[in-house]
Amino acid sequence: MVILTLNCGSSSAKYQVYDWDAKDILAVGVVEKVTIGGSFINHKLKGKEEITIEHDCPTHTDAVGLIIKTLTDPKTGCLPDMGVIKAVGHRVLHGGDKFTKSVIVDDTAMAAFNAVKDLGPLHNPANIMGIEAAKKVLPHVPHCAVMDTAWHQTMPPESFLYAVPYEWYEKYSVRRYGFHGTSFLYTAKRAAVLLGKDPFQTNLVICHLGNGSSVNAVKNGCSFDTSMGITPLEGLVMGTRAGDADMAMPFYVMRKTGMTAADMENALNKKSGLFGITGKYTDRRDIQKAKLDGDERALLAQNMEAHRVKKYIGAYQAVLGRTDALVFTAGVGEFAWFIREKILDGLEGTGIVYDPEANKIACTRNTESIISKPESKIPVYVIPTDEELVMTEDAFALMAGTYDIHTRFNYSFQKKDYVNKGRAEGLVEELRKKPELEKYMVKPR
């Protein structure tokens, strides 16, 4: 049985093809620069080198078509035809407060996604287009939506409500929703395995750091608080998003400049964050290089990003009362050791003592690592996220009728002997080149 997962972003479309019976990935890839010109697909078959094919994709429908063509092509594909796909899992950024778990997509679900698409203007329209395009090609298989917001529906009112007129919540559903939920679900379950604890007796602070970033306080295995808000704009300093700011600031700048509400929304979402401070960079590698070359604004941007994450770590330790582990995940959290270093430096007073050597070496997607010293009261893990696996397992369980909310559902990766075959193969090759990594690999207790 083959399951396809699709993750359509504002200008990209990621995919994975998974052989359920073999528990193995057949192909992965991404179509980049969708809608903006110069589109291309990066495609990798199991056991083969990645290839790049240029192909214009003015819409996400075109991108899904390119993915299907690539997957079924005799030279580049892994499927004889699309008929072997038995379910499709879709990432949906914003499900509002209507969903506490993944669902099979029907007219009611699509109406709910459309109703809140203004709350996720960069992602929800693309998510919806991806679902519609895939359903046209595969109309007779279940399409399953996995919402970023569903994980956070366990937050208590003191965490999710804003101190604004209460009728805004009652009439317009103004509240904190939180995002990156699929990643937090995976890493929370894996952290419990590494700690040897019941997931529902585990407290964690998880830092999902990428172009979009957020922190999650996990109490007794469930989301308790998170840094993103009604939209993904709130919280950390991100690639192009401002994160936390005085709510009166936009009105002040609008009065001074004549900017419209649309202008301000665009500026805070697309022209702020690291890009706003540096004037040109969002990629942390570019910022690191510029910093080393003496660019003071690159240094400032890096310091601001780390400072904001550090504040959230301390705040969430306070609201949890007991923290069993600190976790880093996602592209920046997994690979940008220089950002982790700035975040972790000086946290000894909170019970966190990191190992600088381990931190520099543990930059991999192929294994879970520990980057804290033995004397650290709170272990610090780097756990490569696997949102696609969560989507795949949710889609299969929905199709089979065995799925339920995560507090009543067990994933394969919650087992102590769980192995990701693709990552295990990659680890063998990586250890040949970097044998020192083995010292910091962490195994389930």
Taking the C-alpha atoms of residue 334 and residue 359, their distance in angstroms, rounded to an integer, is 10
* Measured CA distances, 334 to 79, 241, 247, 386, 443 (Å): 32, 20, 32, 12, 17
User: Mapping DSSP to helix (H, G, I), strand (E, B) and coil, where does residue 4 land?
Assistant: strand
Helix orientation angle between 296-320 and 284-292, rounded to the nearest 10 degrees: 130
Active site residue 148: yes
Measured from the Cβ of residue 101, the count of other Cβ atoms closer than 10 Å reads 19
Q: How far apart are CA 277 and CA 271, in angstroms?
A: 9
Cβ neighbours, 10 Å, residue 274? 27
Question: What's the DSSP call for residue 266?
Answer: H
The tokens describing 122, both together, are: 């960069």
Start-to-end CA span in the chain (Å): 32
CA distance 404 to 101: 7
Q: How far apart are CA 246 and CA 166, in angstroms?
A: 20
Catalytic hit among 56, 106, 148, 324: 148
- DSSP assignment of 206-264, as one string? EEE-SSS-EEEEEETTEEEEES--SSTTSSS--SS---S--TTHHHHHHHHH---HHHH
Pairing of strands 222-226, 51-54: unpaired
φ, ψ (nearest 5 deg) of residue 121: -65, -25
What is the rounded CA–CA span in Å between residue 281 and residue 418?
38
- The catalytic residues are 148
